[in-house]
Amino acid sequence: MNPKRPFFSHPSGTIMIVLLCMASCLLVAGACAADVYVTGYLGDIIDMHGSSYRGTQVYLFMTGPGLPTDGVTLTDVTQRADQGQFTIVELDSSQQWWFNWDTSRIWNEINPGTYTVYVSTEPVDYSHLGGSDTYKTLSVYLQDPGNRKGGSSSSSYTLHLDAQVTTPPTVQSVEIPAPAIPSTPAQQPTVPVPPVVTTQASAITTTTKAAMQPMTPIIAVMGGAGLLLYPATRRR
């Protein structure tokens, strides 16, 4: 008698387990894709508001159990998003939007379950959504109102589609030139020098006196000769 082989040892069994794990991961990833999660009851009023800096309005639609894949409006499940039908909300002067979703309007048209509300800046359905910055999602788990204790309630949630981009002011850089360094040392200020008294005049005077000293005896001789000749001339 051959022993029973475990299920995981069979290749097909292993492949099946891997596929189941992959499917579970995909389901979890899809469930975790919403931006905001809400738990309430059919008949509740869900207040949604946010901001959008694209265009003048936002477009809402929802998907969920028993609804068309590409979504329907939030007030009438017979109006399909893939046919151009949306719940349209206008933006105010400050680019804000508000919408009070009264789920009692579709109470008899949907069953309890998890529904996803899409708020988009463009009039597109689920299959044609743009980038993640063009839409936000709200996951709503609507329970059977028969299990509720008390009356209906209202809750508020915020969905900002895209943040306003603010351009920082341009800062102009001014280059301040460095002081020029002279290639040669700066000249020192000239200090006036007192005039120097030269001895040139004295030298000239001395030279003149020295030249006149040999003439003295000659003059004396000539004067003496004149005195000797003077009487002689008188005798004539």
Asked whether residue 26 is assigned to any structural domain, the reply reads no
Q: Could you tell me the pTM of the whole model?
A: 0.57
The whole domain housing 69 covers: 32-158
Count how many domains the chain has.
1
Question: Which has more pLDDT, 178 or 32?
Answer: 178
- Residue 11 exposure: Cα atoms within 13 Å on the Cβ side: 0
Asked whether residue 203 is assigned to any structural domain, the reply reads no
- Tens digit of pLDDT for each residue in 91-104? 999 999 999 999 99
CATH code, domain carrying 65: 2.60.40
Asked whether residue 111 is assigned to any structural domain, the reply reads yes
Asked whether residue 86 is assigned to any structural domain, the reply reads yes
Strand 45-51 to 96-102 pairing: antiparallel
Q: Which of 141, 111, 136, 112 is nearest to 122 (CA)?
A: 136
DSSP class of 72: B
User: What is d(CA 225, CA 220) in angstroms, rounded to the nearest whole number?
Assistant: 9
**Helix boundaries (H) for 38-154:** none
Asked whether residue 24 is assigned to any structural domain, the reply reads no
Asked whether residue 3 is assigned to any structural domain, the reply reads no
Asked whether residue 177 is assigned to any structural domain, the reply reads no
Asked whether residue 39 is assigned to any structural domain, the reply reads yes
- Tens digit of pLDDT for each residue in 184-200? 555 655 555 555 544 44
